[in-house]
Amino acid sequence: MKQHKKGLALWLTAILLLLAGALLTGSPGRAEGVQEAMRDAVLHNVNQISLFGWKTVNPGMISAFTVTAVLLLAAACLRIFAIPRFRMVPGKLQLLLEETVGLFDHMARTNSPHRFGFLGAYIFSAGAYIFVGTLFELLGLQAVTTHGTPVTLPAPLSDVNAAIALGTLSYLVILSGGVTANGARGVGKTLKEFSLPISMSFRLFGALLSGLLVTELVYYFVHLSFVLPVVVGVMFTMLHALIQTYVLTMLTALYYGEVSEPSHG
């Protein structure tokens, strides 16, 4: 009971200090309006980066290349150095990997008991990309735009093009399951859900972009802009990483299991 009261007192003290700081601190005086920040977060008309002098791209593409390289390097290191040392009594790393793989494998087996091998591998890969890509923006890595101004690299899927690409890829995976299991009839089952890639893409894009916009609003309207945006940004990023990983992988597994279920005469 004493520990509980002590922790509650610390939280109340921190909240009061933040409120006092918000009242006493002056306005941050942003040069860029919140509308301009939101518009550039979606359209990327201003903050563009030169890709090795070849062409200008939006920061989301640089983030996508970086996250992909990190995931491939991590997978190669695990395969070469960690997996050959696995034992019957698992260590912490082995236990973490087994639990993570088992989670997605169970999701695939539950929703598609007839065909789950490729589905498990795909939702594991998509889930890892969404989770790591969403947490990537917490690193605060910066790049220089073509105008010479620094810009923080966002999450790859906060770019609408990347979200549409991942949603379309998931839909093609679902279509492949229907064709493999039921041939032309599987194509019909999949095509009747014609709005699925759009809904998956914009659900993912909207959820990830909302974290950026909420942080921008906090920076713009709250005086204590050097404390609260950090807390709010981390909370939204962690929440989106978990929720969007679960939502997209679960939807893919559900629809894949539906269209790949063998037809009965």
Tokens of 214: 């909420």
Decide if pLDDT at 31 tops 80.
no
- Point out which residues pair with 151 in neighbouring strands: 143
pLDDT of residue 105: 94
Mean pLDDT of 102-114: 92
Mean pLDDT of 183-210: 76
pTM score of the predicted model = 0.79
Per-residue model confidence as pLDDT tens digits over 213-236: 666 666 555 555 555 556 666 777
Highest mean pLDDT: which range of 21-25, 28-32, 41-45, 89-93 = 89-93
- Average pLDDT of the segment spanning 34-40: 62
Q: 83-92, 102-111, 186-195 — which one is most confidently predicted on average?
A: 102-111
- Cα dihedral 90/94/95/96 (nearest 10): 170
- Kindly tell me if the per-residue pLDDT of 54 is higher than 70: yes
- Sequence-distant (≥ 6) Cβ neighbours of residue 204 within 8 angstroms: 130, 157, 163, 166, 167, 244, 247, 248
